[in-house]
């Protein structure tokens, strides 16, 4: 009898513990009085490098291809990117930029010389996608072009002439060459990167040497129309000395300085499979992803010491996940799948980026098609799949150019290997020009739902609607044959209640809510 009583009590206790874990509790307080910093739309920028099939087969197939196209651009990809409201697109690299000679990519395509892509698999490229093709694409997408100039193997004269070719409306040699190549009106090119990763593939330079080189190159890149926004080639993740030197020796000669940070397990050996990973690997990835916040703080602190007026901006112009290439694909082409795990890296990153836009004014995920953490995957059969990351960008597009609303978040945390601590709830909020408030929430817990109470801080919300991104398994991903395994769906788990918003987030889910505010 005693054994039965004990067994019953123990069973009740176990069930009580389980019931408590079914739904974690979180509290979010909105600070509307401190909502004064806009979220630049350029935070949602993209990056297209001549790498693998990002350009050829991804963005560009040529006018004579059997794959449906619009003047050579893949129709399906073009439409998908238009729907994403891309604000800015960086090109031609990456490491490719410092081996790219722009004059090889202009004029009749049949006359353009071929080149070897030494950085990425030794691919032979025919230069059929060059300056005109890229800048015309930006016009079709309605986005700003961001040109990365060749400092590593190029010359000052070469970059200066490229700027003239693209932006001069005058009766000048390069402007007239552009006209002979079929483009009368200059393009509106604002962003100009002076080199890329000059500490590595862009020339293996010391920061002091690069700073002097930047000053020389920037001097001869003239303003012919739109004032150039000149970006110095900045640091990789933890290289704070590089930022220190550039702030001292370049200073306000640059409009911005770049930063690169990848969520990657390491630079030697296997980086891990994109679709086959353990729960522990998943949580580690999100912990590594969130480390960008500490890195941003430290680079920004250096910039603040040298530039307290915040006249120089920080541009995270390469970021995202980096896994092993998919089996059976070409080595060096960096083609990787994209799971719900990658979607969480995107959502958690944006939640952090929004907090630092007084200094951080642009971010460019790597890369837009078929490379690393891409928006879109394509094949040579004319098929396309949208990735989970694409859907996060679409859900979060409501925050572009909206005013950031700071949040105080109290939630459970999880210990992650390498001595990291991962909050189970991540969130961001903003108010757009119409007065509508959007709140994006991520529950990173793989097993348990989370009940989130959001204190609206005086906002009088009339109604709430929402969208959710989740899947059965964290390893789920979209393929050409099954393109909708991970997709956006309507969300009904939010209710307004006397100045608060009660939200029940399922496990491993990303949600964006829209609140209509009574003015």
225 pLDDT band, cuts 50/70/90, is confident
> Who's near 234: CB < 8 A, 6+ residues apart?
242, 243, 246, 257, 258, 259, 260, 314, 315
pLDDT of residue 346: 98
pLDDT of residue 4: 43
Secondary structure of 77-135 in the HEC alphabet?
HHHHHHHCCCCEEEECCCHHHHHCCHHHHCCCHHHCCCEEECCCCCEEECCCCCHHHHH
pLDDT of residue 23: 72
9 pLDDT band, cuts 50/70/90, is very low
Could you tell me if 230 and 149 are in contact, meaning their C-beta atoms sit under 8 angstroms apart?
Answer: no
> Who's near 210: CB < 8 A, 6+ residues apart?
195, 198, 199, 203, 233, 246
Distance between CA atoms of residues 116 and 122, nearest Å: 6
**Arithmetic mean of pLDDT, 187-205:** 97
Q: Lowest-confidence range among 222-226, 371-375, 420-424? A: 222-226
- Active site residue ranges: 197, 318
**Arithmetic mean of pLDDT, 333-352:** 98
SS3 349: helix
Could you tell me if 317 and 90 are in contact, meaning their C-beta atoms sit under 8 angstroms apart?
Answer: yes
Residue 20 in this model has a pLDDT that exceeds 80: no
Could you tell me if 214 and 232 are in contact, meaning their C-beta atoms sit under 8 angstroms apart?
Answer: yes
pLDDT of residue 10: 40
2 pLDDT band, cuts 50/70/90, is very low
Q: Sign of torsion, CA 71 74 75 77?
A: negative
416-441 tens-digit pLDDT? 999 999 999 999 999 999 999 999 99
Residue 168 in this model has a pLDDT that exceeds 60: yes
Question: Is residue 488 within a helix (H) or strand (E), and if so which, with residue range?
Answer: strand 487-490
Q: CA neighbours within 13 Å on the CB side: how many for 457? A: 15
Q: Lowest-confidence range among 61-65, 265-269, 499-503? A: 265-269
40-400 CATH fold: TIM Barrel (3.20.20)
**Arithmetic mean of pLDDT, 50-61:** 97
Regarding pTM above 0.85, the answer is yes
pLDDT of residue 246: 98
pLDDT of residue 498: 87
269 pLDDT band, cuts 50/70/90, is confident
**Arithmetic mean of pLDDT, 485-490:** 98
Distance between CA atoms of residues 67 and 381, nearest Å: 7
Question: Is residue 516 within a helix (H) or strand (E), and if so which, with residue range?
Answer: strand 509-517
Question: Is residue 357 within a helix (H) or strand (E), and if so which, with residue range?
Answer: none
22-36+405-517 CATH fold: Immunoglobulin-like (2.60.40)
Distance between CA atoms of residues 120 and 463, nearest Å: 51
* Region(s) of the chain under CATH 2.60.40.1180: 22-36+405-517
Distance between CA atoms of residues 385 and 263, nearest Å: 23
Could you tell me if 232 and 246 are in contact, meaning their C-beta atoms sit under 8 angstroms apart?
Answer: yes
* Region(s) of the chain under CATH 3.20.20.80: 40-400
15 pLDDT band, cuts 50/70/90, is very low
268 pLDDT band, cuts 50/70/90, is confident
Percent of the chain with pLDDT over 90: 93
SS3 68: coil
**Arithmetic mean of pLDDT, 47-72:** 97
What is the number of other CB atoms lying within 10 angstroms of the CB of residue 416? 18
181 pLDDT band, cuts 50/70/90, is very high
Beta strands in 31-79 (DSSP E): 37-38, 45-47, 69-70, 73-74
**Arithmetic mean of pLDDT, 159-166:** 98
């Amino acid at each position: 009898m005693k054994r039965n009583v004990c067994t019953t009590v123990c069973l009740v206790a176990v069930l009580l513990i389980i019931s408590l874990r079914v739904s974690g509790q979180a509290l979010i307080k909105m600070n509307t009085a401190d909502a004064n910093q806009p979220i630049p739309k350029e935070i949602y920028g993209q990056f297209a490098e001549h790498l693998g099939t990002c350009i050829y087969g991804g963005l560009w197939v040529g006018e004579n291809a059997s794959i449906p196209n619009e003047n050579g651009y893949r129709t399906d990809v073009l439409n998908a990117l238009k729907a994403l409201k891309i604000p800015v697109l960086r090109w031609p690299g990456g490491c490719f930029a410092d081996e790219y000679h722009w004059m090889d990519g202009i004029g009749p395509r049949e006359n353009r010389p071929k080149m070897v892509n030494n950085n990425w698999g030794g691919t032979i490229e025919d230069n059929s996608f060059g300056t005109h093709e890229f800048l015309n694409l930006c016009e079709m997408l309605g986005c700003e072009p961001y040109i990365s100039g060749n400092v590593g193997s190029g010359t000052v004269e070469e970059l200066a002439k490229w700027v003239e070719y693209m932006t001069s409306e005058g009766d000048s040699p390069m402007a007239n060459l552009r006209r002979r190549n079929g483009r009368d009106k200059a393009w509106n090119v604002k962003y100009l990167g002076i080199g890329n990763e000059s500490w590595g593939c862009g020339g293996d330079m010391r920061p002091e040497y690069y700073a002097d080189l930047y000053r020389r190159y920037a001097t001869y890149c003239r303003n012919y129309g739109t004032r150039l926004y000149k970006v110095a080639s900045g640091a990789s993740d933890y290289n704070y000395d590089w930022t220190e030197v550039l702030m001292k020796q370049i200073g306000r000669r640059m409009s911005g300085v770049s930063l690169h940070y990848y969520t990657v397990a390491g630079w030697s050996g296997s980086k891990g499979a994109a679709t086959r990973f353990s729960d522990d690997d998943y949580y580690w990835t999100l912990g590594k992803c969130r480390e960008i916040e500490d890195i941003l703080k430290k680079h920004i602190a250096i910039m603040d010491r040298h530039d307290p007026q915040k006249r120089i901006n920080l541009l995270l112009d390469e970021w995202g996940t980096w896994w092993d290439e998919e089996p059976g694909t070409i080595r060096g082409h960096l083609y990787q799948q994209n799971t719900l795990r990658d979607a969480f890296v995107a959502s958690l990153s944006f939640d952090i980026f929004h907090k630092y836009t007084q200094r951080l004014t642009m971010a460019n995920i790597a890369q837009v098609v078929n490379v690393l953490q891409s928006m879109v995957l394509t094949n040579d059969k004319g098929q396309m799949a949208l990735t989970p990351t694409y859907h996060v960008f679409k859900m979060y597009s409501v925050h572009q150019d909206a005013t950031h609303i700071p949040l105080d978040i109290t939630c459970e945390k999880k210990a992650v290997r390498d001595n990291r601590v991962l909050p189970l709830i991540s969130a961001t909020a903003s108010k757009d020009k119409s007065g509508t408030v959007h709140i994006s929430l991520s529950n990173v817990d793989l097993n348990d739902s989370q009940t989130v109470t959001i204190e609206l801080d005086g906002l009088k919300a009339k109604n709430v609607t929402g969208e959710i991104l989740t899947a059965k398994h964290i390893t789920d991903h979209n393929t050409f044959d099954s393109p909708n395994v991970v997709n956006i769906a309507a969300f009904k788990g939010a209710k307004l209640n006397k100045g608060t918003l009660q939200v029940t987030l399922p496990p491993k889910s990303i949600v964006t809510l829209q609140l209509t505010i009574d003015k």
